Amino acid sequence: MYGLLERDLKYLMDAVKKYAEVEEAILFGSRAMGNYKKGSDVDLALIGEKVDRKIVRRLSDDLNEEYPLPYFFDIVNYNDISNEELKKHIESVGKSIYKRYNK
């Protein structure tokens, strides 16, 4: 799915679930559009009222340093995005890969 191995998607979900502040995680960029290549990074936007730079940095460190994943993760806080084109891209092609239902 999205060029990610099932095992790696599980690692990704496990990492995101550690942060109660994250209400939703949206995959965007080449992996969401289906035109990724070998070595393409994984673009992820986090949504949540309590998501801040610290959460983004900690999750990024977890995924890029702690988990045995062969991808680079580029993580952003959706609410901090000032580039309207990027927001439109995420809204139009983004794939929600995680939603916390017990807010």
Q: How far is CA 62 from the centre of its chain?
A: 12
- Enter the tokens of residue 66: 């702690």
Structural domain boundaries in the chain: 6-99
CA 31 to centroid of chain Cα atoms: 11
Q: Which helix (H) or strand (E) holds 46?
A: strand 42-47
44 Cα distance to chain centroid: 2
Segment 5-22, tens digit of pLDDT = 999 999 999 999 999 999
H helix or E strand, kind and range, residue 26: strand 24-28
Structure confidence at residue 76 (pLDDT): 98
Question: pLDDT digit string (tens) for 20-31?
Answer: 999 999 999 999
Superfamily of domain 6-99: Beta Polymerase, domain 2 (3.30.460.10)
pTM check: above 0.85: yes
